[in-house]
Every structure is written in structure tokens, then in C-alpha cells.
Chain A
């Protein structure tokens, strides 16, 4: 459900600053995602997870390159790049990493949500 305009205004005021993403970078990510959707139909199923981790890394790189100051994201992106290639060398470790990555992102969501509530609290 969409947010009410006045609530949205408050959220915007409290949100941390971030730079705009140039269209070219956004299109690169778009191309990666739609091309992956096409080839995932014929590739082994675990490639789908690999493509999504790769896309997540590209998204993180784009945000960081565009000026987002987020040390957690920088660390997470480096970890994604190290871990995604396990798909080729150690598939068991690759599968083990997937829920670890999700847990890290979930914890980060909780942290940012808590910060947000604190920032917008009257």
C-alpha cells in the first residue's frame, strides 16, 4: 500500500542523502537483469542464484559509485564478489552462503528501520 503524501514528506526529510544514479548505470543493471531472465531458462538452476548475487553486487557498486556513504554496503559488496564465484569452485559453500547473505541483509534492514523510527519519532 502506498504511503500518504504527508507521511512520505516526513520520511523524505529523515532519509539519509544519496546521489542520483546515472541513467547509463541503471540501464546496465536493467540489461543484466533482463538478459539473465532470458538465459536462466536454459542454464543450470544454480546459475539463477549466481546471476542474482551478481546483480546485487552491481546494484551495490552502482550505489557506492554514485556517492552513497555506506561502509556496510561496501563490505557486503566485496563479500558478494568473493562469494559468488564459489558457484564454480565449491558449490556446497556457495549454497551455504546464500542464507548467510540473506540474514546479513535482513539484519541491516532491521538496523536501518530502527534508525529510521528513531529519526522520525516526534
Chain B
């Protein structure tokens, strides 16, 4: 007996539309994020693809406004205070257990990206704004969050409702975006695809 195909309920065109309408939000309102939504976002992160299924990352949720402010203070790449942050940490104990080389194995950071993307897509589906940040003082964030020595902060996902001003900007602005034809080569590096993508 064939297992039911869970993809049946998802229209690929709808999924593409969802992904293509996500934008980074850097200006958040003070409106809190519902906890059940936060869990859905975290669940999306849990299902992110991961090298060898090693699962060496841990997700630290920060909702306390004072702690969010302190993290933002140590993060020049964070421009407003979101309702929540998810700090993606590499757990160095898990890394050792998986016998990975923490500073040489690129999959560790690639997996940060897959986690981040899944969570941002889910947040966007929920109508929330997100912004990933890597421009922070790792040492400073370790201190203000009281991280143990085996937790290495890799990236911070800001989650919240976009400010009203930001919602206006999103509808008005269209940043230049590269066309697919500029990004894709076919069979050989530098060779254009046989047809222009639509």
C-alpha cells in the first residue's frame, strides 16, 4: 500500500508565490507574536534538511524585551527590536559527538541557512516578518545571553509583525532583483539556458 502523498494539498505555484513574496523586515511593531505561531516556525526549522541528519544546532528563543534589547545592542545588524528572536546556536558537544570539525566543516553553516530559510518561509506564511542577522558580536551575544561555552551563536532570526511604515514601504518599493536567466547556466558554466525562463 502506498503512503498518502502529503504534498497533494500544496500547490507548487502557491508555494513559489509564497517564497517569492517574502521580504526582509527590519522595522518591527511592538505587537507580540502568538506562541503557537512561534512553535510552528520552530517546527518548520526542525524539518530543515541537515547534513547526515547530524542535528548539531539548537534554537534559543528570546522573548524577554530586555534581553532582546541587549542582544540588539551587541548586534549592529539589528535595527529594531522584534517581538521574538530565535538564536541559532551550534552545540559544540553535538559537533564533537558527530565527529565534525567545527571550523572546517561547511555543512555546519549550510545547515544554519536551511534552518533559517524554513523558519522564514513559515513565518511569512503566517503573515509575520523576519530578518536574519549575522552581523552581531558573537562574544557580546554570548555574554548578554549567558550562553554556555559549548553553544556558539551562528545567526539570529528576528520575528515579529512589520511596522505600519514598513508595510507601506513593502507595497511601494521594488528592489532590483536578478533575473533567473542571469543566475542560471545550462550544462556548462557560463552557458545560457536553451530557452529564456518565464
Pairwise interchain contact A31-B74, C-beta atoms closer than 8 A: yes
Pairwise interchain contact B135-A43, C-beta atoms closer than 8 A: yes
| A28, CB-defined interface residue at 8 Å | yes
**Residues of A contacting B: mostly:** helix
Residues of A contacting B137 with CB < 8 Å?
34-35, 38-39
Residues of A contacting B135 with CB < 8 Å?
39, 43, 47
Known pairs A34-B137, A35-B137; A51 contacts B76 (CB<8 A): yes
Q: What is the distance, in angstroms, from A77's C-beta to the closest C-beta of chain B?
A: 15
**Which of the four size classes fits the interface of chain B?**
10 to 19
Chain A, Cβ-Cβ closest to B141: A35
Residues of A contacting B139 with CB < 8 Å?
38
Q: What is the distance, in angstroms, from A40's C-beta to the closest C-beta of chain B?
A: 9
Chain B, Cβ-Cβ closest to A54: B76
| A89, CB-defined interface residue at 8 Å | yes
- 1/0 per residue, CB under 8 A from B, across A30-71: the answer is 011011101100010001000100100000000000000000
Residue from B73, B76, B77, B136 whose CB has the most chain A CB atoms within 10 Å: B76
Interface size on A, residues (CB 8 A): 14
Bound CA–CA A27/B77 (angstroms):
17
Bound CA–CA A32/B73 (angstroms):
6
Residue from B74, B138, B175 whose CB has the most chain A CB atoms within 10 Å: B74
| B140, CB-defined interface residue at 8 Å | yes
Chain B, Cβ-Cβ closest to A40: B76
Residues of B contacting A27 with CB < 8 Å?
73
Q: What is the distance, in angstroms, from A33's C-beta to the closest C-beta of chain B?
A: 9
Residues of A contacting B75 with CB < 8 Å?
35
Chain A, Cβ-Cβ closest to B138: A38
Q: What is the distance, in angstroms, from B25's C-beta to the closest C-beta of chain A?
A: 14
Identify which of residues 58-74 in chain B touch chain A, using a CB-to-CB cut-off of 8 Å: 73-74
Bound CA–CA A54/B75 (angstroms):
12
Q: What is the distance, in angstroms, from B74's C-beta to the closest C-beta of chain A?
A: 5
Chain A, Cβ-Cβ closest to B26: A85
Chain B, Cβ-Cβ closest to A90: B176
By a beta-carbon cutoff of 8 Å, the part of chain A in contact with chain B is 27-28, 31-32, 34-36, 38-39, 43, 47, 51, 54, 89
State the 8 A-B residue pairs at the shortest beta-carbon distance, nearest first: A35-B137, A31-B73, A36-B76, A38-B137, A35-B74, A28-B73, A35-B76, A35-B140
